[in-house]
Amino acid sequence: MPVITLTSDYGLVDHRVASMKGKILSWSEEVKVVDITHNITAYNLLQTAYIVRNAYKFFPEGSIHIIAVDSFYHKSRKNIIAKVDGHYFISADNGITNLMFFDIKPEAVYEITLNNRFDDKVIFPATEIFVPAAMHLYKGGLPEVIGRKIKSIKDVSFPRAIYNEAEKMIIGEVMYIDNFGNVVSNISRKFFEKYAAISEKFTVKFRNIVSSKVFDQYTDLVTDWDREQEAHGKSSVIFNDAELLEITIYKGNVSNGASTLFGMSTGEKIYVEFE
């Protein structure tokens, strides 16, 4: 049986997450429900896209992912099911699908028509629309039964790194700051290596920090494991597990990580200059 995952900006203090789980369990007590996260910053679709994109692929094919971020109901906004890479993603049509899958074309997208029977009175779409749609799919139902196939959905552009030929420079930006205070850019390893292959040297620049080396993992900074503690608090540039260029502080956290020590926030520019 497929797994149902939940992602929201509801937090864990209020009743909303428990309401979603209770509604699911009222349909079936055997369903496996997994929380991806409920600590999304309110309405932050880019953060949501980064987290779900890097999490969904570890779930079994056919899994159903409810994304209740920026999901308040309005009669003029569709709620959709997107089938992508063998998984189902249920959300409001707010641009999250294109942010997550800027490089993958959905197999199909459906506008959920369940809400038609409610007219305009949908108080909590997560329990009134998303959960019933998820349970329909969970039980083997076809999306066509509860929705109609559509060709276009809201398009929110994913911020892409660019290469400036005249300056011989990649220009990227901070797209995410994780729980350790690591600063994640939108410069992918593939994009970086395309230009690094034709240049002998490069320099990564952000704020007043300059680095001419990119590590493959956090612990590459440690040259002698018996003296590992000496690396605590040192900065480095790595390609993280999402294959994105990241600025990190070894053993850092939200309070003393790269984002705090360097004063960096999302949207700030990061440069890679090639010689």
In whole angstroms, give the CA distance from residue 97 to residue 105. Answer: 10
The mean per-residue pLDDT over the stretch 10-33 comes to 95
pLDDT tens digits, 74-130 = 888 999 999 999 999 999 999 999 999 988 999 999 999 976 655 567 889 999 999
pLDDT tens digits, 167-222 = 999 999 999 999 999 999 999 999 999 998 888 799 999 877 788 899 998 898 88
Q: In CATH, what class is 162-274?
A: mainly beta
Residue 226's pLDDT is what? Answer: 87
Average pLDDT along the chain: 92
> Does the CA dihedral 46-50-52-53 come out positive or negative?
positive
Exposed, middle or buried by CB within 10 Å (0-12, 13-18, 19+), for 227? exposed
Residue 256's pLDDT is what? Answer: 87
Q: Given the DSSP bridges, would you call strands 108-112 and 147-150 parallel, antiparallel or unpaired? A: antiparallel
Residue 217's pLDDT is what? Answer: 87
Residue 224's pLDDT is what? Answer: 87
Residue 122's pLDDT is what? Answer: 85
> What is the share, in percent, of the chain residues with pLDDT greater than 90?
72
The mean per-residue pLDDT over the stretch 134-138 comes to 96
Which residues contact residue 101 at a Cβ distance below 8 angstroms, ignoring those fewer than 6 apart?
Answer: 53, 82, 84, 85
Q: Give the type of residue at 106.
A: P
Residue 55's pLDDT is what? Answer: 97
Q: Out of 3.40.50.720, 3.40.50.10860, 3.40.30.10, 3.40.50.10790, select the CATH number for domain 3-150.
A: 3.40.50.10790
Per-domain boundaries in the chain: 3-150, 162-274
The mean per-residue pLDDT over the stretch 1-22 comes to 95
Are the CB atoms for 9 and 40 separated by under 8 Å?
Answer: yes
Residue 268's pLDDT is what? Answer: 92
